């Protein structure tokens, strides 16, 4: 049974991509997709059409670096990894996300206790 | 199971990186393949998997386009940043390089700055004069109307003719008239009498020019009628001086030549048109200068109606001219009216000088560039090692060329900035002799076109002088250059280029030198012209009578009689002369004069003669020879017969082969009938209008018989003429406090001032050609020194084999003089080609004057010889042992 796919805001998608690459390993687009799917146990399935434009935009922004390589199946594919700038952006967004979640939780808790 | 990142990267080094489009396609394709694999693993058939994968992806085309767009913009931006950073690197390197050789850089920058500055200054003046529009609304519709006689512009037309043209033509919105000259009038009523300048203009002139008075108003239509209250408009300078710029000036009455006029308006400060005068009076039908159709005093300024072309207006005006010729055959038979665009007409007089100077500065800049290029080429050879190192480290030839070129650009732009600052200074110099004040331009300062021109010129200059060294600098022979052997065995390219440069410099210098040589000869000719009188130790001054007490002729005669006698009594005075118009300085006032007993059949063939009332003793004081008969005397009074003295040319013309004494001359004073005079004397010819103009006809009248109100006094002094200035003033003020003594100057000053324009141009061009000569000589020296330094081994060998030192010197001199000879030939050719342009500026000298050409060539060859001597001497001193050992 597949969990409902959630339409992600673009900003969140980029956060997810940053997080995916946060380990330092370089991955190609499909691998990023799969990792997100697996890490959320299928709860988040990224729309493929949105992924690649996001990756290219982030590269233009200087957060990602890309290069060509051979996959395990010996196919030519494009690999992405975080740049120093991208890592900084990831840290920032993690902090922001945490604050955001905390704030929302406070409101959620407040409503309950009314 | 996936290859480690390291391994992957290792492999990736071997892969050719795909381009943008290919890359995006590959990326998407890879994704789809993975998806298909997944789906097949999940149980689908390949066919189903393929279509499902595509479906799941979504809008493949859209994603492809978007990603390509993003990638392309990223690449563009990255490339731009790359270029910017390499340019910045080049600039930093260039600045460091230039700073390492400060003297060299300074010389180059200064040389170029002077060349660029002179050009920018010339451009700004030319731009302001020729390209900028006149400061009036719709200036392209303004035309100047000049009367022509047998198609030659006079240029002034008569008042009645003007009225007829105005009333009969339909091509003009307005047709105005302005007096062709200015008058000096006496302003009284203040502490001191003041001489101010004034002129007449028709009441519609200022409105046609769109003038807006800062105080008061312009002339009204009824002020064009005689009998209306006398009105005047004053110039802004006069307004500030006399009234302190206060609006109270409007409505005040001032007394001009004892005549009261009311100030009705003031002209704006930035208004300049033809005459710079203090006082403008309205032209009145029947008033001054308007009565006689045969007297020509007016210039016409018209504003064409919308849609009417100059040609159309000219045709209409020609019809009117013919009509007038038929109606008034005695005065108008050969007359016409020539219409010219106003701006064009005003430019006519100084276009030749401006163009010549423009040409000269361009040549100077080219020569300067040649020198700089030569210097750079020389330096390029010493930098071979540095360039070779860079090449060995991987810099491509184009990168090196670009870097060398950046150096040239930085130098040129620096020179451009300095040059623009210098240009402001040069502007003043140029304006001082090309007087474009008529166009309303007194100073120019900075302007946007000027800055744009400076920038463009700097870039072009960089190309001209930097291109060659940059090209030759990239021809590196790595092995030789790294070893430092380049100095000895450098390619021939450098020398050939430099030799060509020198030849070009010599040619251009020759052109300039010939030009200035011609101007010098022309000026000397002019300076040496005999004006017809003796100019030394002669003090001149203007005395203008004003006031009701001098309205009667008798009063005027009495005043001047007394003054002349008093001046005679001053110690140091050898002679006193008085005349209405000073020769050289005051042309004009000529009237038709003929032999009444032998009049020309066609009245239109009657010539004009200068009308000059004089005091007895004038000829003697001025040193004008009395050739026959007698001087005018005190006994020639209004009661005695009317007499004249005429000049030699007029005697020859009117009475060829006979003695004119006792014969009669008819003079047209504007009345119905001419006045008849008996010729009692013949005097030598005098240049009345200028040194350059041939003396024409002159009739001298007895002052008592034609007593004018304003006289020019000429005092021959024993010592310094100016020592008589104070006594003269005292004598005049003794008689009447209200009479100013104006325009005090020695005759020599007057003559000198009259040719000052030509002098300044001559001096400037000579300055330019000296600079050019200097630069070319340096260029020649440089090339020969380089030539010798490269041939040290060869010379050493020759000397070791027994060559005499004189043959070594010969070797160098021959090379030098060959270059110079070619340059001279080319330069002479160029000067010949420019003859038509230069001829307009010369007096008494042909533009192809052989003496000048030869002198200049020989002079230049001499200079070249001197420039070659030092390298030749060095060559002679080469020690064969040293030369052969040096490697």
In the predicted structure, residue B435 carries a pLDDT above the cut 80? no
CA separation for the pair B480, B490 (Å, rounded) = 9
For residue B57, give the nearest of A26, A48, A79 by CB distance: A48
Q: How confident is the model at residue B343 (pLDDT cuts 50, 70, 90)?
A: confident
Task: Please give the pLDDT value at position A2.
Answer: 45
Task: Please give the pLDDT value at position B445.
Answer: 74
Closest CA to B88 of B382, B410, B518, B353: B410
Kindly state the tokens that stand for B36: 């298909």
Kindly state the tokens that stand for B78: 């990255």
Task: Please give the pLDDT value at position B489.
Answer: 44
CB contact under 8 A, A77 and B27: yes
Closest CA to B739 of B729, B752, B748: B729
Burial annotation B324-350 (CB, 10 A radius, 16+ → b, else e): bbeebeebbbbbbbbbbbbbebbbeeb
Q: How confident is the model at residue A12 (pLDDT cuts 50, 70, 90)?
A: confident
In the predicted structure, residue B576 carries a pLDDT above the cut 60? yes
* Secondary structure of B218-271 as H, E, C letters: CCCHHHHCCCCCCEEEECHHHHHHHHCCCHHHCCCEEEECCEEEEEEEECCCCC
Kindly state the tokens that stand for B40: 């097949």
In the predicted structure, residue B838 carries a pLDDT above the cut 60? yes
**Local structure of B38: helix, strand or coil:** helix
In the predicted structure, residue B830 carries a pLDDT above the cut 50? yes
Name the average pLDDT for chain B.
Answer: 86
Task: Please give the pLDDT value at position B477.
Answer: 53
Strand B142-149 relative to strand B296-304: parallel, antiparallel, unpaired?
Answer: antiparallel
Mean predicted confidence (pLDDT) in B231-252? 89
Task: Please give the pLDDT value at position B486.
Answer: 45
For B125-169, how does the pLDDT look when each residue is reduced to its tens digit (9 = 90+)?
888 777 777 788 888 899 999 999 888 888 899 999 999 999 999
Closest CA to B459 of B426, B507, B416, B396: B416
B67 contacts in A (CB within 8 Å)?
Answer: 52-53, 56
In the predicted structure, residue B865 carries a pLDDT above the cut 80? yes
**Local structure of B196: helix, strand or coil:** strand
Closest CA to B406 of B475, B451, B467, B457: B467
**DSSP conformation class of B389:** H
For residue B8, give the nearest of A53, A57, A79 by CB distance: A79
What are the DSSP calls for chain A, one per residue?
-PPPP-PPPHHHHHHHHHHHGGGS--EEHHHHHHHHHHHTTTS----HHHHHHHHHHHHHHTSEEEEEEE-TTS-EEEEEEE-HHHHHHHHHHHHHHHHHHHHHHHHHHHHHT-
In the predicted structure, residue B232 carries a pLDDT above the cut 60? yes
For B681-695, how does the pLDDT look when each residue is reduced to its tens digit (9 = 90+)?
999 999 998 888 889
Mean predicted confidence (pLDDT) in B696-705? 93
The answer to whether the beta carbons of residues B366 and B503 sit under 8 Å apart is no
Task: Please give the pLDDT value at position B434.
Answer: 62
Strand B279-282 relative to strand B231-234: parallel, antiparallel, unpaired?
Answer: antiparallel
Mean predicted confidence (pLDDT) in B545-550? 79
For residue A30, give the nearest of B3, B34, B70 by CB distance: B34
Q: How confident is the model at residue B300 (pLDDT cuts 50, 70, 90)?
A: very high
CB contact under 8 A, B5 and A49: no
Q: How confident is the model at residue A1 (pLDDT cuts 50, 70, 90)?
A: very low
Q: How confident is the model at residue A8 (pLDDT cuts 50, 70, 90)?
A: low
A28 contacts in B (CB within 8 Å)?
Answer: 27, 30
Kindly state the tokens that stand for B585: 């300085």
For B44-103, how does the pLDDT look when each residue is reduced to its tens digit (9 = 90+)?
888 888 998 888 888 899 999 999 999 999 999 999 999 899 889 889 988 988 888 888
In the predicted structure, residue A25 carries a pLDDT above the cut 90? no
pTM exceeding 0.90: no
**Which A residues in the span 17-76 are in contact with B, Cβ-Cβ below 8 Å?**
25-26, 28-30, 47-49, 52-53, 56-57, 59-60, 67-73, 75-76
Tokens 């992405």 identify what position? Answer: A80
Rounded to 10 degrees, what is the CA torsion of A69, A75, A76, A78?
-70
Is the previous residue joined to B471 through a cis bond, with omega within 30 degrees of 0? no
Mean predicted confidence (pLDDT) in B506-528? 90
Looking at chain B, the whole-number percentage of residues with pLDDT higher than 70 is 93
For B635-687, how does the pLDDT look when each residue is reduced to its tens digit (9 = 90+)?
999 899 999 999 999 999 999 999 999 999 999 988 888 999 999 999 999 99
In the predicted structure, residue B106 carries a pLDDT above the cut 60? yes
Closest CA to B162 of B287, B18, B342, B57: B287
CB contact under 8 A, B31 and A30: yes
CB-based contacts of A5, cutoff 8 Å, min separation 6: A44, A45, A47
Tokens 């070797």 identify what position? Answer: B811
Q: How confident is the model at residue A58 (pLDDT cuts 50, 70, 90)?
A: very high
For residue A56, give the nearest of B9, B17, B71 by CB distance: B71
In the predicted structure, residue B2 carries a pLDDT above the cut 60? no
Q: How many CB atoms lie within 10 A of CB B567?
A: 20
A69 contacts in B (CB within 8 Å)?
Answer: 8-9, 11-12, 15
In the predicted structure, residue B9 carries a pLDDT above the cut 60? no
Residue of chain A whose Cα is closest to the Cα of B56? A48
User: Considering only CB atoms, which residues of chain B are within 8 Å of chain A?
Assistant: 1-3, 5, 8-9, 11-12, 15, 17-18, 23-24, 26-28, 30-31, 33-35, 37, 56-59, 62-63, 66-67, 70-71, 73-74, 77
Closest CA to B193 of B546, B687, B696: B546
Q: How confident is the model at residue B442 (pLDDT cuts 50, 70, 90)?
A: low
Task: Please give the pLDDT value at position B480.
Answer: 54
Shortest distance, CA A65 to any CA of chain B (angstroms): 12
């Amino acid at each position: 049974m597949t969990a409902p796919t959630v339409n992600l805001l673009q900003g969140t998608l980029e956060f997810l991509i940053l997080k995916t690459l946060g380990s330092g390993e370089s991955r190609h687009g499909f691998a990023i997709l799969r990792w997100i799917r697996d890490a959320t146990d299928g709860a988040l399935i990224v729309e493929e059409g949105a992924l690649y434009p996001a990756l290219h935009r982030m590269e233009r922004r200087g957060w990602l670096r890309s290069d060509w390589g051979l996959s395990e199946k010996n196919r030519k594919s494009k690999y992405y990894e975080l740049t120093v700038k991208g890592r900084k952006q990831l840290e920032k967004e993690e902090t922001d996300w945490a604050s955001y979640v905390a704030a929302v939780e406070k409101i959620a808790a407040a409503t309950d206790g009314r | 199971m996936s290859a480690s990142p390291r391994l992957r990267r290792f492999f990736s080094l071997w892969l050719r990186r795909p381009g943008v489009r290919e890359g995006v396609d590959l990326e998407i394709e890879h994704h789809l393949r993975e998806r298909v694999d997944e789906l097949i693993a999940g149980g689908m058939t390949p066919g189903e998997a393929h279509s499902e994968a595509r479906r799941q992806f979504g809008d493949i085309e859209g994603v492809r386009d978007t990603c390509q767009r993003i990638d392309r913009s990223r690449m563009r931006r990255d490339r731009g940043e790359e270029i910017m950073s390499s340019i910045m690197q080049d600039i930093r390197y260039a600045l460091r390089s230039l700073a390492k050789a400060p003297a060299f850089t300074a010389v180059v920058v200064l040389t170029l700055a002077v060349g660029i500055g002179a050009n920018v200054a010339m451009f700004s003046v030319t731009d302001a004069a020729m390209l900028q529009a006149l400061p009036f609304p719709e200036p392209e519709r303004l035309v100047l109307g000049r009367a022509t006689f047998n198609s030659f512009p006079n240029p002034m037309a008569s008042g009645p003719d003007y009225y007829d043209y105005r009333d009969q033509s339909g091509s003009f919105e307005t047709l105005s008239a302005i007096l062709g000259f200015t008058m000096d009038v006496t302003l009284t009523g203040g502490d001191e009498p003041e001489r101010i300048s004034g002129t007449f203009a028709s009441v519609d002139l200022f409105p046609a020019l769109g003038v807006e008075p800062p105080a008061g108003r312009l002339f009204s239509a009824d002020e064009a009628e005689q009998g209306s209250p006398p009105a005047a408009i004053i110039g802004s300078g006069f307004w500030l001086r006399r009234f302190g710029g206060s609006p109270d000036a409007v409505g005040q009455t001032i007394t001009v030549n004892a005549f009261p006029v009311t100030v009705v308006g003031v002209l704006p400060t930035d208004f300049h048109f033809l005459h710079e005068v203090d006082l403008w009076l309205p032209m009145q039908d029947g008033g001054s200068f308007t009565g006689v159709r045969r007297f020509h005093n007016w210039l016409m300024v018209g504003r064409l109606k919308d849609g009417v072309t100059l040609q159309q207006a000219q045709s209409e005006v020609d019809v009117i001219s013919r009509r007038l010729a038929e109606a008034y055959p005695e005065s108008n038979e050969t007359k016409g009216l020539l219409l010219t665009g106003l701006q064009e007409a005003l430019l006519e007089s100084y276009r030749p000088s401006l163009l010549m100077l423009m040409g000269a500065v361009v040549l100077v800049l080219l020569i300067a560039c040649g020198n700089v290029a030569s210097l750079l080429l020389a330096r390029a050879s010493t930098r071979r090692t540095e360039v070779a190192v860079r090449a060995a480290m991987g810099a491509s030839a184009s990168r090196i060329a670009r870097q060398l070129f950046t150096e040239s650009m930085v130098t040129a732009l620096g020179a451009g900035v300095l040059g623009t600052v210098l240009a402001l200074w040069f502007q003043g110099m140029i304006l001082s002799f090309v007087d474009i004040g008529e166009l309303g331009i007194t100073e120019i300062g900075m302007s946007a076109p000027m800055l744009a021109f400076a920038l463009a010129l700097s870039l072009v200059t960089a190309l001209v002088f930097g291109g060659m060294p940059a090209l030759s600098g990239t021809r590196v022979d790595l092995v030789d250059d790294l070893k430092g052997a380049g100095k000895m065995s450098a390619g021939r390219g450098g020398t050939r280029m430099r030799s060509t440069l020198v030849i070009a410099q010599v040619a251009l210098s020759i052109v300039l030198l010939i030009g200035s040589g011609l101007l010098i000869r022309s000026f000397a000719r002019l300076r040496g012209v005999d004006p017809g009188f003796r100019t030394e130790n002669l003090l001149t001054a203007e005395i203008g009578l004003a006031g009701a007490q001098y309205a009667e002729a008798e009063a005027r005669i009495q005043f001047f009689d007394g003054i002349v006698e008093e001046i005679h009594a001053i110690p140091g005075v050898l002679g006193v002369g008085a005349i209405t118009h000073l020769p050289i300085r005051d042309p004009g006032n000529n009237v038709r004069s003929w032999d009444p007993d032998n009049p020309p059949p066609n009245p239109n063939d009657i010539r004009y003669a200068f009308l000059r009332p004089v005091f007895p003793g004038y000829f003697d004081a001025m040193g004008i020879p009395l050739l026959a008969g007698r001087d005018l005397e005190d006994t020639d009074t209004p009661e005695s017969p009317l007499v004249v003295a005429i000049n030699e040319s007029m005697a020859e013309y009117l009475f060829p082969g006979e003695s004119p004494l006792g014969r009669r001359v008819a003079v047209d004073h504007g009345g119905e009938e001419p006045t008849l005079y008996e010729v009692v004397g013949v005097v030598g010819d005098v240049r009345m209008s200028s040194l350059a103009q041939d003396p024409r006809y002159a009739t001298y009248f007895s002052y008592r018989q034609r007593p004018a109100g304003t006289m020019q006094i000429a005092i021959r002094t024993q010592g310094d003429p100016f020592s008589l200035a104070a006594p003269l003033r005292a004598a005049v003020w003794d008689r009447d406090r209200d009479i100013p003594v104006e325009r005090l100057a020695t005759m020599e000053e007057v003559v000198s001032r009259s040719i000052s324009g030509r002098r300044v141009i001559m001096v400037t061009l000579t300055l330019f050609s000296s600079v050019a000569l200097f630069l070319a000589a340096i260029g020649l020296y440089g090339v020969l020194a380089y030539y010798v330094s490269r041939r040290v081994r060869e010379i050493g060998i020759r000397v070791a084999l027994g060559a005499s030192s004189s043959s070594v010197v010969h070797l160098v001199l021959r090379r030098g003089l060959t270059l110079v000879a070619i340059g001279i030939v080319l330069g002479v050719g160029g000067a010949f080609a420019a003859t038509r342009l230069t001829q307009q500026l010369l007096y008494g000298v042909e533009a192809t004057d052989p003496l000048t050409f030869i002198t200049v060539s020989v002079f230049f060859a001499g200079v070249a010889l001197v420039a070659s001597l030092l390298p030749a001497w060095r060559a002679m001193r080469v020690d064969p042992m040293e030369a052969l050992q040096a490697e």
